[in-house]
Amino acid sequence: MTTSRGRHYTGLQQIAVIANSELTLRRTCNAIARTVAKATDMNGCRVLLLDSKKEYLTTVGAYGLSDLYLRKGPLDARKSLPEVLAGNIVVVTHAPTDERVQHPEVAKSQNVLFIAGIPVILGEDTIGELRIYSKESRELTEVEKDFLKASANFCAVLLDRAQLAQFRDRIDKSRAKATEVSTSLQMAANSLKPTEFAHESEAEFAGLLDFYQIEWLYEPRSFPLAWKGAKISQMFTPDFYLPELDMYIELTTMKQDLITLKNRKVRRLREQYPDINIRLLTKKDFMKLLAKYGYGSMGEAKVEGVGRVLYSHTQIQRRVRAIARKISRDYAGERIVIIGVLKGVMCFMSDLMQYISIPVRVDYMDISHYSGDGEVVKITRDLDSPIGGQHVLMVEDIVDTGMTLNYVLAHLAAHKPASLRVCSLLDRKARRLANVKLDYVGFGIPDVFVVGYGLDYKGEYRNLPFIGELRQDWGGRSQARQLHEGRS
């Protein structure tokens, strides 16, 4: 057995022992990074976790890398060795000049020449990366690649185990509070947040961001503020970075001396890095900021009724734009008539029209439901203009049983349009009774009562910028009642 193979064999033995230890996830990944670096004769290594949207990478363990290198800024998975996302091992032999390196200037300042990225794969899904670094340019042998793949597999198991532990803790906490555990708790491995916060206020802030489904990165970048000769003498590391808002956040309490100190640092950062968007916030300031960006402009009573946010304002807008692009492509060269049923569809329909790039005409219908021996649907407001021979797109806020939609489609089809398709923001398949085809769908949702973005409860919540799940104990309302108020 060669010396290289011997090091790799010993390294895998050590990783197996580490993985089976009682260490925290952070310390376990740090130890694995050290073992991998030593076994491959590298200067550094780190374990990275991919976020839920597969956009950013977060360090969960590292060895041999400076704080400045680790906190050089948010690591964009689509810009930093993007081929790794597809499950490929990527090798960079000269980092300062390679376009696949997101921060080449930092690599140059830290004398990093060689970088290799190895996908961390769970099942068929890439959930993170293992990266190694060297100050010397080199190549990877096939034996080294096999060792790195095996090490990455250990990391996948560890991250999966940590996710399961986090999920179990959430259930235990819910039981401790004597509340029902929602069946909608998600167990996707990329929902893991293995962050160790410095202060309790940061954990509370992160929880608030999670509620609104605002993606966040904790302390991703350190900004040099002062130097002594060629050496950095002072750095400032903001607490959070919010990718969707392209904003750094530094939290503070109301203590005047702390506010003064942090204000001084923030001011210096703005002077030296004018392109950086940073805010110094108290909790009260943050709630105002949420309102400004369309997340939290509702009263406290309404917030209390929402069990969790299913889709954030940003997620909705991103999906609406994607649907509009597809509609524009499918109907290229045509004029279409968009028809909506009042009132819940108003928000979705208004936003959708803004992004459709072909000529459109808009019309509305209104319907009522009557309950006797069975549910009866009646059209109380019909179309203003004829649709015969025209391309018609029926737009819905939510489709569940499909019974109402089936009735409305039959009514529209009787007018003999050239074509008739359906676009729905939400699809609740669990309740489907009628066999209706949905040509464009925003999101699938579980069998829960949802509010926001046009959907209401007793006339409220329509103006919420997100779609949230109404708590089952809120107002004693049964889920079935959502069927009888204009929902399809």
Amino acid at 308: R
Smallest CA-to-CA distance from 363 within 340, 386, 394, 393 is with: 340
**Residue 442 · residue 472 · CB < 8 Å:** no
Catalytic hit among 51, 351, 397, 400? 400
Helix (H, G, I), strand (E, B) or coil at 298: coil
Can you tell me the distance from the alpha carbon of 1 to that of 9, in angstroms, rounded to the nearest whole number? Answer: 10
**Residue 469 · residue 182 · CB < 8 Å:** yes
Q: Identify whether 285 is a catalytic site residue.
A: no
**Residue 437 · residue 420 · CB < 8 Å:** no
Chain centroid to Cα 399, Å, comes to 24
**Residue 259 · residue 252 · CB < 8 Å:** yes
Give φ, ψ of 116 to 5 degrees: -130, 135
Long-range contacts of 28-32 (CB under 8 A, 24+ apart): 28/61, 28/158, 29/60, 29/61, 29/62, 29/155, 29/158, 30/61, 30/62, 30/63, 31/61, 32/61, 32/151, 32/154, 32/155, 32/158
Active site residues: 400
